[in-house]
Chain A
Amino acid sequence: MRASSLGKGLGVAGLLLFTLFPVYLMVVTAFNGRANAGSRSLWPEDWTFRNFTFVVGEGGFGRYLTNSLLVALGTVLAGALLALLAAVAVARFRFRFRTSVLVMILIIQMVPVEALVIPLFIQARSLGVLDSLLGLVVVYLAFSLPFAIWTLRGFVAAVPVELEEAAYLDGASWGRMFWSVLLPLVAPGLVATSVFSFITAWNEFVFALTFMADQDNYTVAVGLRRFFGQYGTDWGALMAASTLITIPVMVFFVIAQKRLTDGLVAGAVKG
């Protein structure tokens, strides 16, 4: 018994070390005032916010953060609306080709970005929409839709049909039922899928790298490259910028995971 609990303790310790060490190193280096001078310690030799102020100010990272935020919010808002409508269609209606549509949505998720970036770059170039944030929003919207539809479908299906029928009996039109009954009940699922759409847009690298030529239009994922290698790597700045990118994702991630697992329509059928 004691040997097994010792083994468990060692397992947990090793696991925590492996999981958290890279994150720890990132944050510690971001606060290390001497990281640029070759300091490679596990504890900052000189606690400072200088790396952060440099990155956001001179480094131009404030601009990239704004760009990424705009792109991600655009993706989330458009994606939530389109995915919800589509999810209602596949969860609530039986129609011809329904299964084909679902299978197509599944298969399409597997298409590698490497295969899409070439034709989309050529298309965007001939339409003159390279270097535009809106162009990125449209691309990310397409990327986030399959997962969002697939996930929301489950949330919509979990809402009891009786609730909808009760609304109809009270004289509500389909539209009224949608806004007053279905939408509030699906809200947790909408939050979860929105968070994942946000993360998709926030983290995306290949398209941002290919489409954005003007530095003013960089998103955070591409903007990071500025600190890597150009004047020799500025590790303090790179890690400070990485920390700024990572924190919102972590917060969102924990929220989404909770929402996805929490009771979907707890209490809805009670009253």
Chain B
Amino acid sequence: MTGVVTTLRERTRPGRGAATAGPRPGRPRRSASRTARPWLLLAPALIVMGGLLLYPLLRVVLISLQDFGLRQLVSGRTSWVGFDNYAELLGDADLWRTVLPNTVVFAVVAVALTVVVGTLVALLLARLRPLTRGIVTTAIMVAWAVPAVTGTYVWIFLFTPGDGLAVQALDALGLTDAATANPFASRISFYGVATLNVVHHGFPFVALTVLAGLLTVPQEVTEAAIVDGAGAWRRFWSVTFPMLRPVFAVVTVLSTIWDFKVFTQIYLMPGGDGVNRGVLNLGTWSYVESFAQNRYGLGAAIAVLLTVLLLIITVGYLRLLFKEDEL
């Protein structure tokens, strides 16, 4: 598909370039070549992103309006069904009872924990001496660098029913019975483990971003607050937080976007690949419906729903960003 798009564009481009650029594209002062040049520079990147990000996005909407199963996949025929997939999706009790709560509650809890832990870590880092701060920052980067795939397997290892170290530890504390407990069976504990995984992976970004913000707060402001007798709690809410409101807004919205569409960390956990339907979220449901059940139309409708939700959050993010720094 991209191959076709590329050759088409390339065939038309030199002609247009020659027509507009004049005899020699020399100095950048010449106006015609100046108009064409940015577009020539942008063209390869725009073609790739258009062909592999924008066009598929349009296509997924079209697929969501079709009955698209194995037969259509093989024959290439299309059968339009209007909004049937959406009707089925919105009429499915699983959506409202299982999938949406899993997605939204998980995102809210994970984001709240990520931002709180990240902020506390940033506040701690800001109070450390440079050497200690360097060491701790490196450790945080190490946690950040662990790929989602391998990180997820480590958490599964820790919570393996029976002999996982975390299960054993909880058993020793008398909280579970290691012989019978299966953390991956129930929805709450499944998402509890997923939350640990996602927070561990996500807090470094928040911590380092907030730390960068904290270091810009002028020393005098903090000192003035101390002189006025404000405690640490009061100082944070009355001085630091208002000054860093944009930073907090950005890390919160970005974390929300990431946690809403979390896929790998859920899919890889035992039962997360559709075997245990009680732990599906929007992302895994869409994938399982498409690639395990071969119901690409319904899967596409779920994906569109997820995209629309993310788009709403993204618009909020953009409005924050534009206030911060004009393009």
Contacts and interface: CB of A to CB of B under 8 A. Distances in A.
Nearest to B287: A114
A126 interface: yes
Interface stretch (A47-55, A88-96, A183-191): A88-96
Interface of A: 8, 11-12, 15-16, 18-20, 22-23, 25-26, 29, 38, 40, 42, 81-83, 85-86, 88-90, 92-93, 95, 98-99, 101-108, 110-127, 138-139, 141-143, 145-146, 149, 168, 173-174, 199, 202-203, 205-206, 210, 221, 224-225, 228, 233, 235, 238-239, 242, 245-246, 249-250, 252-254, 257
A88 B37 CA distance: 10
A245 B147 contact: yes
A141 B49 CA distance: 9
B261 A122 contact: no
Contacts, number: 254
B73 A101 contact: no
Given A110-B257, A203-B149, 13 more contacts: A11-B124, A15-B121, A22-B200, A86-B41, A95-B38, A110-B310, A118-B60, A119-B59, A168-B27, A203-B147, A205-B263, A221-B149, A242-B149
Nearest to B42: A89
Nearest to A29: B157
B172 interface: no
Interface in B113-137: 121, 124, 127-128, 132, 136
Prevailing SS type, chain B contact patch = helix
22 contacts: A11-B124, A22-B154, A23-B154, A83-B45, A86-B42, A89-B37, A106-B318, A108-B53, A112-B263, A113-B261, A115-B304, A115-B306, A116-B60, A118-B63, A118-B300, A119-B55, A142-B49, A205-B268, A242-B149, A250-B142, A254-B145, A257-B141
A206 B60 contact: no
Interface string B163-177: 111001000000000
Contacts of A104: 54
Please give me the 8 A-B residue pairs with the lowest Cβ-Cβ distance, nearest first.
A142-B52, A242-B150, A119-B59, A93-B38, A253-B145, A89-B41, A86-B45, A119-B56
A118 B299 contact: yes
Interface of B: 1-3, 25-28, 34-35, 37-39, 41-42, 44-46, 48-49, 51-57, 59-60, 63, 68, 73, 76, 121, 124, 127-128, 132, 136, 138-151, 153-155, 157-158, 160, 163-165, 168, 200, 204, 257, 261, 263-264, 267-268, 282-283, 286-287, 290-291, 296, 299-300, 303-304, 306-307, 310-311, 313-314, 317-318, 321, 327
A121 to B, nearest CB: 8
A101 B42 contact: yes
A171 B323 CA distance: 41
Given A113-B263, A138-B2, A205 B149 contact: yes
A53 B304 CA distance: 45
Prevailing SS type, chain A contact patch = helix
Contacts of A15: 121, 124, 136, 139-140
